[in-house]
Amino acid sequence: MNPTLLPSLIRNNLLPVVLCLVSFGLVSGQTEPSRQLVTSSYSPTPTYTAKDTAKVRELMEKGKAWYQHNADSARYYHEKGLALARKCGFKKGEARCLINLANAVYDLGEYLLANQLCEEAIPLCLEINLKKELAATYNTLANSWNYLGNHHLAVSYYEKSLNAMESVKVPPYFPITVTNNLSTLYLDLKLYNKALTNSLRCLGLSLAIQDTATAATASLNIGNALKSLGKPDSAMIFYQQALEYGKTSGYQTLIVTTLGNMSDYYLDRGDYAQSRQLLNQGLALAKKTGDEYGKMINLHGLGRLDYWEKNFGSAEKNYQAALAIGERLGMKDYTYTLYLDLSDLAHIRKDQNQALIYRKRYYAIRDSIANTTLIHAVQEMETRYETVKKEKQIQSLMQEATLRQLQLRQRNIQFYSATALAILLLISGFLGYRNLRHRGKLSVAAALLEGQEAERSRLARDLHDGLGGRITGVRHFIQALSGRTDDIREEFSRAVAELDRCTSELRHIARNMMPEALSRFGLKDALEDYCDHMREATTAEIHVFTSGLEERLPENKEIVLFRIIQELLNNAVKYSSASEIIAQITRDGDRVHLTVEDNGRGFDPQILHTSPGVGWANIMSRVRYLNGALDWHTSPGEGLIVNIESYV
């Protein structure tokens, strides 16, 4: 067990929430089916002999045996196995060697190489349908990306790993390990709802096979997610559970971490005594089990408690003790917060010099951590863009060729220029004529559109102010009456409820017809309000972004832009089954960009070309009214992206 800590950067009142990343059982798991290799050699296209497969298997077994003790030796055997499998075209063997080798180099810290090996293994696994191996490969790839700092990619590979497991029988700890890692990662990414869902699933799965150690981690993760979601009381229930499962499985480091997080709860409520008791308990346990990391966090926690209770001397002692451990363990990503706390203390002692020294150290370490992340990101980018670079080279070669062609052509141009000029004149004449006619058509359409909007606006006001007001008045009357007549109370309340439905229906109609906020406050508020109401009707996350809309646009343009985004949002909510929708209007100078994107089911783009619906036709006519340009992308399963650019 090697709990990786991911201290949060937010320095609230006490300890950062401590997360646990459990090490992986998949490593030895995927070499287990090697016994089947013998049978696989009887497959219908054996270009390799039983002797070859036996040799590959033997090398793999050796590598597997070495893996636990010396990854370097494991690497040697897996490399040999891989070479042999390749030489004789034994694909299954090749895939398995690749995965084992990837795991070995991952352990040796060569993450980019591990990624490369996994990338090679994936098409092989897909080709010969090795689902279990595929799941393991994705898991390793996710681990590696996680280490390289690309958490988002890691999430997507963990998910792929889980998907690959769905249709194949795997040992129960496969999905548990991956789900567990995934929920830890979600916590780290601060996606608490997703973390919660996954850790709950993990808890269920692990309890089903009575794996109490994993159940303990899952409970701790659930507690942390709930705590971050602002539900400390529910979090405590799961922390308690984590303690119990931790005790059953003898998972001491987890108990220490959980105690620390629990102490936070009491600190938040101002119960210093209880908080201190838990920290002392954690410290004692950490000392007993030689858990240096646990010792450090509990000392740190005690120091902060001392600080809160104004026992500055004791606080200093605890911080220093924690710092000593942290420095010995080389846990820079934890110790830098200690420097900040020490700096605060020095400040209180009025020792400004010392305060400055600590603070400088805090900044230095923080920056170096940020730089490491940056370096990882750069490495990742380099590999990712290597292919792009090659493409670029090809492109530049092609450009050279076209340049030469151009020079040739230039000579001819002189001959043709006279003719071209004549043709140009003709074309511009034609275009001018067409434009004139077109403008005529446009202005009729524009007048229609404007008239329509004016009518709508009037109707909406009438509905809202006239009818709406009356209904409300009647409602108040009825309610005032109902207080006096006990015997027909039920009928009265039914009438009131019915009237309420009328009002809300009416509000809905009026809002869609012409939102009041649009004319009164402008596009930004109208869009935000509209999305508020859309959120009531859908589970999809709607993200709104506007910029440059502080200054109002001409009212007719605002209405048209609003109509377009209203139509697009409605479509996205109604038809796309998206989980995420982005609605965005930005203005830069005289240009206005409108974007609506969803990650939903998308559709065959041919549909819009052959039979666009009424809604789409409306959008097109409005874009024309704005003299705008519309561009959209979709395909089945790919969501829909609509970009509109227009001028004010």
CB of 468 to another protein, least distance (A): 5
Binding of another protein by 11 (CB under 8 A): no
Return the number of the residue (320 or 538) whose C-beta is nearest another protein.
538
Per CB under 8 A, 473 contacts another protein: yes
The site string for another protein over 541-560 (x = CB under 8 A, - otherwise) reads: xxxxx-x-------------
**In angstroms, rounded to a whole number, what is the distance separating the alpha carbons of residues 283 and 302?**
9
- In this chain, which of 356, 381, 537, 617 binds another protein, going by CB under 8 A? 381
Q: What are phi and psi of 216, to 5 degrees?
A: -65, -45
Q: Please identify, using beta-carbon distances, which residue of 46 and 468 lies nearer to another protein.
A: 468
Query: According to CB under 8 A, which one of 44, 290, 483, 636 is a site residue for another protein?
Result: 483
Smallest CA-to-CA distance from 263 within 5, 20, 13 is with 13
For another protein, give the closer residue by CB, 360 or 591. Answer: 591
Q: How far is the CB of 461 from another protein (least distance, A)?
A: 9
435 to 464, contacts with another protein by CB under 8 A? 464
Report in angstroms how near the CB of residue 377 gets to another protein at its nearest: 4
Min dist CB 394 to another protein, Å, is 15
Residues 6+ apart with CB under 8 A from 346: 352, 354, 355, 358
Intra-chain end-to-end CA distance of the chain, in Å: 62
The contact pattern for another protein, residues 522-541, with x = CB under 8 A and - = no contact, is: ---xx-xx--x--x-----x
Instruction: Decide whether 56 or 594 has the Cβ nearer to another protein.
Output: 594
Best CA proximity match to 220, nearest among 245, 242, 235? 242
Question: Please, are residues 136 and 30 in contact by the beta-carbon 8 Å criterion?
Answer: yes
Q: How far is the CB of 157 from another protein (least distance, A)?
A: 14
Residue closer to another protein (CB basis): 10 or 614: 10
Distance CA 591, CA 358 (A): 50
**Gap between the Cα atoms of 508 and 468, Å rounded:** 11
Mutual angle of helices 352-461 and 332-348, in 10-degree steps? 100
The CA-CA-CA angle for residues 132, 138, 142, to 5°, reads: 145
CA 1/CA 402 separation, integer angstroms: 61
Task: Candidates 364, 374, 431, 444: give the one binding another protein (CB under 8 A).
Answer: 374
Pair 369, 337: CB distance under 8 Å: no
Neighbours of 294 (CB within 10 A): 27
Write out the binding residues for another protein, residues 106-165 only, by CB under 8 A: 149-153
Q: Tell me the closest approach of the beta carbon of residue 151 to another protein, in angstroms.
A: 6
Shorter beta-carbon distance to another protein: residue 72 or 500: 500
Measured from the CB of residue 16, what is the shortest distance to another protein in angstroms?
Answer: 14
- The full DSSP string for 269-315 is TT-HHHHHHHHHHHHHHHHHHT-HHHHHHHHHHHHHHHHHTT-HHHH
**Shortest distance, position 436 Cβ to another protein, whole Å:** 26
Q: Does 190 bind another protein (CB under 8 A)?
A: yes
647 binds another protein (CB under 8 A): no
Binding residues for another protein, rule CB under 8 A, total 67
Ramachandran class of 465: left when φ > 0, alpha when ψ lies in -120 to 50, beta otherwise: alpha
Which C-beta is closer to another protein: that of 450 or that of 528?
A: 528
Q: Is 637 in the site for another protein (CB under 8 A)?
A: no
Among 85, 105, 125, 191, binds another protein (CB under 8 A): 191
Q: What is residue 167's three-state secondary structure? A: coil
Instruction: Among 363, 385, 430, 433, indicate the residue that binds another protein (CB under 8 A).
Output: 385
Q: What are phi and psi of 603, to 5 degrees?
A: -165, 175
One of 277, 289, 570, 586 touching another protein (CB under 8 A): 586
Of 189, 112, 127, which Cα lies nearest the Cα of 158? 189
Residue 576 CB burial class (10 angstroms; 0-12, 13-18, ≥19): buried
Cα–Cα dist 243/258, whole Å: 7
Which tokens belong to 194? 């997703």
Among 109, 386, 477, 574, binds another protein (CB under 8 A): 477
Beta carbon nearer to another protein, 107 or 529: 529
Q: Applying CB under 8 A, which residues contact another protein?
A: 149-153, 190-193, 370, 373-374, 377-378, 381, 385, 388, 464-465, 468-470, 472-477, 479-480, 483-484, 499-500, 503-504, 507, 515-517, 520-521, 525-526, 528-529, 532, 535, 541-545, 547, 580, 582, 584, 586, 588, 591, 593, 595, 597, 633, 641, 643, 645
